[in-house]
A and B are shown apart, each in its own frame.
Chain A
């Protein structure tokens, strides 16, 4: 009996405390002191973590710390806290914005003395897997001394991981050892959606040690396949949609400079909106083609219009914004335009001085002209 009496007294005491706490919360109408994490930007999936202390107290930025849960556990409830900005929301509320947004799937621990530690995991969002949208050159036959490839992705990719996620196999299925240059920095466009790959130039250049010992990465007459691993994560850390492959046949080395004088010009007629077209006998570099040409009228002004590249980058066409007028026009071509083997308009990639002694031209532009009738 005495025992029951004690229990009853204890329960009454706890009930009293609980009622008092509830009353306080109703009285002040505010969030209870504690730590919570919340989604602050749904579109970009940005989370923040916030600490609230009781009314009448002031929140102290230095006391609030957020850790990777693994670090917290491994270092026995301390270790390296995450760097970030602490923003005073009010006297009693402090928000923490990490330098890097909290990552999907990772678990974190937030601590503040006197409050319960919060362990939280950032939930995984629905996403559209990133794909390889284009590989240039896109033709099936490439020269033995090919210098570059461009890989285009549908979304921003992670940087610094190309070398381990790419390989080339030969017809027997064997992997070609290190065909690409392990380049740091990797050559991405600003948005990290296009990667430029270089075949090892030391192996392509005739007579350099790597070329003499190993030869070119690809051999004439063979068929190869480029494999892009699904494990290559995009910038959000997600795997690619699938593994991508492209096969190609290797033809003879190309050691000649492109010669604009040999190109065909398909001229439009006056008063028409017909496209102007240039055509040549080999594939040229896709990226450089897009900015190699400008069309000039006889007054020396450039003409506005849209460009399109033809199949296998063997032609270029230009549709003007306004109709052509009778008269002479000029096409200006940048001399740094390259073919697939890195030969540009001024010089071949590796010039044989025995066959072509003397200086190479150093002109920034070449010109072609055509008559609109």
Chain B
């Protein structure tokens, strides 16, 4: 069974020339300013170097880099095992458990403190941080930050009667890789996505790459599809992106293949089952082999060998046969269901899991259990 993918790239500048923007001396935070970044929503979190936390703010159509100053190891090598996380958050915020939603989670790779983007049902966005087994609120009133607006090249939007645009690019994922912040977004109107790459540190004049994805089901029906989650990683020394879409296929493409104004072919390497949306993708070295780990809305955590993905040379072009619910690269299901958030925690994996008894637990899992 095979499947074809066409990547149609719209460049507003040269992406690749920005890939080594940070070659000069000095800190990445040299140009940061101090104050309140006026964040309206926190849709996605990702850590960069020097304890810099990137926050995707869809409502303000911007990405904010925050200098957390959290740059010393907290010595939590043993891991984390926190129970009733939602109740703890509700107690910290003085709210009902049902009003609280954990939108995203990121582990600072330096300190191994866990940061949570939390949303109250009234829309208030808050950043929380673990302090051992306790949680604390990270105030945004006076932080060192830098902000980049997510400009839209075709921004002639209709306004409602009060003069507000109804259109939003909902940020679905964010990642930092080699001097670039990458952001994927879904439109709340047209069925399409943008995939942007912004050079970091942010410059006044930004370099944006917008990427629209087409893929073909089994060589016959070509469609477009928005990216839900993605992860940049190096495959044999060459930068790649593995992405999953709202219609579930897992697609791999090489950053080196991305050329301004050209259509690039990527590879759909797997379909991951029905009624399932991938939530996060990680890349882990387990023994001699490296793997992708994915948590999903309605399936257990999946483990896919990177070598299998790399060796999967053909596009999925044959129709699905039999009653198979998945197709393409093989994967192993790990015994972790209802994992809502997942990130690396040193050489362990941190999971936020809704247990069978209803408890929302935050815990680390050692390599030998993956």
A-side residues, CB < 8 A to B, are: 66-68, 71, 79-80, 82-85, 98-100, 102-103, 106, 108, 147-148, 156, 158-161, 177-178, 181-192, 194, 196, 198, 200-203, 205-214, 233, 235-237, 285, 287-288, 290-291, 294, 307, 334, 336, 338, 342, 344, 347, 349-354, 360, 362, 364
In the bound complex, residues from chain A placing their C-beta under 8 Å from that of B186 are: 183, 185, 187
B10 to chain A, nearest CB (A): 9
Which residues of B in the span 188-230 have a Cβ within 8 Å of any Cβ on A?
188-192, 216-225
- Pick from B103, B124, B218, B247: contact of A210, CB below 8 A: B247
Q: Are A100 and B124 within 8 A (Cβ)?
A: yes
Q: Are B94 and A350 within 8 A (Cβ)?
A: no
In the bound complex, residues from chain A placing their C-beta under 8 Å from that of B93 are: 82-83, 98-100
Known: A66-B94, A99-B137, A159-B101. 11 other contacts (CB 8 A): A82-B93, A100-B126, A158-B121, A188-B168, A188-B188, A196-B188, A208-B217, A209-B271, A209-B324, A209-B326, A347-B224
B33 interface contact, C-beta 8 A: no
A99 to chain B, nearest CB (A): 6
- Pick from B91, B94, B249: contact of A208, CB below 8 A: B249
Q: Are A288 and B189 within 8 A (Cβ)?
A: yes
A300 to chain B, nearest CB (A): 15
In the bound complex, residues from chain A placing their C-beta under 8 Å from that of B157 are: 291
Q: Are B275 and A362 within 8 A (Cβ)?
A: no
> For A83, A148, A187, which residue has the most chain B Cβ atoms within 10 angstroms?
A83
Q: Are A207 and B221 within 8 A (Cβ)?
A: yes
Q: Are A67 and B91 within 8 A (Cβ)?
A: yes
In the bound complex, residues from chain A placing their C-beta under 8 Å from that of B327 are: 209
Q: Are B121 and A161 within 8 A (Cβ)?
A: yes
Q: Are B191 and A338 within 8 A (Cβ)?
A: yes
In the bound complex, residues from chain B placing their C-beta under 8 Å from that of A349 are: 191, 223
Q: Are B91 and A183 within 8 A (Cβ)?
A: no
Instruction: Specify the chain B residue showing the minimal Cβ separation from A147.
Output: B191
In the bound complex, residues from chain A placing their C-beta under 8 Å from that of B167 are: 189, 287, 291
Which residues of B in the span 313-338 have a Cβ within 8 Å of any Cβ on A?
319-320, 323-327
In the bound complex, residues from chain B placing their C-beta under 8 Å from that of A208 are: 217, 247-249, 271
With A178-B275, A210-B274, A364-B154 known to touch, is A205 a contact of B92 (CB < 8 Å)?
no
Q: Are B91 and A68 within 8 A (Cβ)?
A: yes
Q: Are A187 and B221 within 8 A (Cβ)?
A: no
Complex Cα distance, B298 from A68, in Å, reads 34
A16 to chain B, nearest CB (A): 42
Which residues of B in the span 242-256 have a Cβ within 8 Å of any Cβ on A?
246-249
A163 to chain B, nearest CB (A): 10
Q: Which 3 A-B pairs have the closest CB atoms?
A: A291-B158, A158-B121, A83-B137
> For A80, A202, A353, A354, which residue has the most chain B Cβ atoms within 10 angstroms?
A202
Q: Are B220 and A160 within 8 A (Cβ)?
A: no
Complex Cα distance, B119 from A209, in Å, reads 34
With A108-B94, A208-B247 known to touch, is A100 a contact of B275 (CB < 8 Å)?
no
In the bound complex, residues from chain B placing their C-beta under 8 Å from that of A351 are: 221-223
Q: Are B325 and A100 within 8 A (Cβ)?
A: no
B319 to chain A, nearest CB (A): 6
Complex Cα distance, B170 from A160, in Å, reads 13
Q: Are B277 and A187 within 8 A (Cβ)?
A: no
In the bound complex, residues from chain B placing their C-beta under 8 Å from that of A187 are: 168, 170, 186-188
In the bound complex, residues from chain B placing their C-beta under 8 Å from that of A84 are: 94
B352 to chain A, nearest CB (A): 13
1/0 per residue B158-178: CB within 8 Å of A? 100000111110111000000
Instruction: Specify the chain B residue showing the minimal Cβ separation from A192.
Output: B123
In the bound complex, residues from chain B placing their C-beta under 8 Å from that of A177 are: 275
Complex Cα distance, B247 from A236, in Å, reads 33
A301 to chain B, nearest CB (A): 14
Q: Are A83 and B277 within 8 A (Cβ)?
A: no
Instruction: Specify the chain B residue showing the minimal Cβ separation from A337.
Output: B190
1/0 per residue B2-22: CB within 8 Å of A? 000000100000000000000
- Pick from B94, B101, B187, B217: contact of A160, CB below 8 A: B101
11 A-B residue pairs with Cβ-Cβ distance under 8 Å, sorted by A, are A80-B92, A100-B120, A182-B298, A190-B165, A202-B274, A206-B220, A206-B221, A207-B320, A233-B121, A338-B190, A353-B220
Instruction: Specify the chain B residue showing the minimal Cβ separation from A235.
Output: B122
Complex Cα distance, B136 from A108, in Å, reads 19
Complex Cα distance, B187 from A103, in Å, reads 32
In the bound complex, residues from chain A placing their C-beta under 8 Å from that of B248 are: 202, 208-210
Q: Are B275 and A210 within 8 A (Cβ)?
A: yes
B62 interface contact, C-beta 8 A: no
Complex Cα distance, B137 from A354, in Å, reads 57
Q: Are A185 and B172 within 8 A (Cβ)?
A: yes
In the bound complex, residues from chain B placing their C-beta under 8 Å from that of A186 are: 170
A250 to chain B, nearest CB (A): 19
Complex Cα distance, B154 from A201, in Å, reads 25
In the bound complex, residues from chain A placing their C-beta under 8 Å from that of B77 are: none
- Pick from A66, A108, A159, A288: contact of B190, CB below 8 A: A288
A178 to chain B, nearest CB (A): 5
Q: Are A80 and B99 within 8 A (Cβ)?
A: no
Q: Are A353 and B247 within 8 A (Cβ)?
A: no
Complex Cα distance, B183 from A1, in Å, reads 89
Complex Cα distance, B94 from A102, in Å, reads 7
In the bound complex, residues from chain A placing their C-beta under 8 Å from that of B164 are: 189-191
With A82-B91, A83-B93, A196-B189 known to touch, is A189 a contact of B246 (CB < 8 Å)?
no
In the bound complex, residues from chain B placing their C-beta under 8 Å from that of A190 are: 40, 59, 164-166, 168
B222 to chain A, nearest CB (A): 5
In the bound complex, residues from chain A placing their C-beta under 8 Å from that of B8 are: 362
Q: Are A160 and B121 within 8 A (Cβ)?
A: yes
B44 to chain A, nearest CB (A): 9
- Pick from A184, A196, A350: contact of B222, CB below 8 A: A350
Instruction: Specify the chain B residue showing the minimal Cβ separation from A341.
Output: B191
Complex Cα distance, B221 from A55, in Å, reads 79
Which residues of B in the span 103-136 have a Cβ within 8 Å of any Cβ on A?
103, 119-124, 126, 134-136
- Pick from B88, B95, B225, B324: contact of A100, CB below 8 A: B95
A203 to chain B, nearest CB (A): 8
A334 to chain B, nearest CB (A): 7
B211 to chain A, nearest CB (A): 14
With A147-B191, A334-B154 known to touch, is A185 a contact of B91 (CB < 8 Å)?
no
